[in-house]
Amino acid sequence: MPNPPDSIRIEPATLEDLSELTDLVMSLMAIEADFRPDAEKQRHGLRLILEQPSRGRIFVVRNDHKVIGMVNLLFTISTAEGGFVILMEDVIVSPEHRGHGYGSMLVQYVKEFAAKKDFRRITLLTDRVSSESQRFFERNGFVHSHMIPMRLLLDSDHRRDG
């Protein structure tokens, strides 16, 4: 008789998960055109969220052995929506666990969390050149916005000057 499948569950990440979370985010940064993997930066950013739940949450999908996927939620206020909204980032499932619905499970969990906590909107950025990512989010209920992302990166020298 074969062994039963590992117990799959979604739960809040903890500081004990930091190493596995960093590895997942590093793998995501490696395939994104706008970002460069930097373990120190990724670890620091993840720690800031984990240590201050008022800033956001990180949820993980795990089996009995390890974290196999994650999603990062940042909380802010929208004047357009008149309330709290979520910026969803770092939706990633480890390559060896893709194709089993774990990414969709994470996104569904986020949608239920947002509804239960009375958030008004979930916004995400996905890679413009990855039609696969865009189709994934469309299948999960997301639609394209008329807004386009723009950003100003402030390098560390600029931040120190004032």
Provide the residue ranges of all domains of the chain, joining segments of one domain with +.
9-161
86: Cβ contacts below 8 Å, ≥ 6 apart: 56, 73, 74, 75, 76, 110, 114, 119, 121, 122, 123
The tens place of each residue's pLDDT in the chain, 162 residues long, gives 444 456 899 999 999 999 999 999 998 887 766 677 889 999 999 999 999 999 999 999 999 889 999 999 999 999 999 999 999 999 999 999 999 999 999 999 999 999 999 999 999 987 776 788 889 999 999 999 998 888 898 876 544 444
Class of domain 9-161: alpha beta
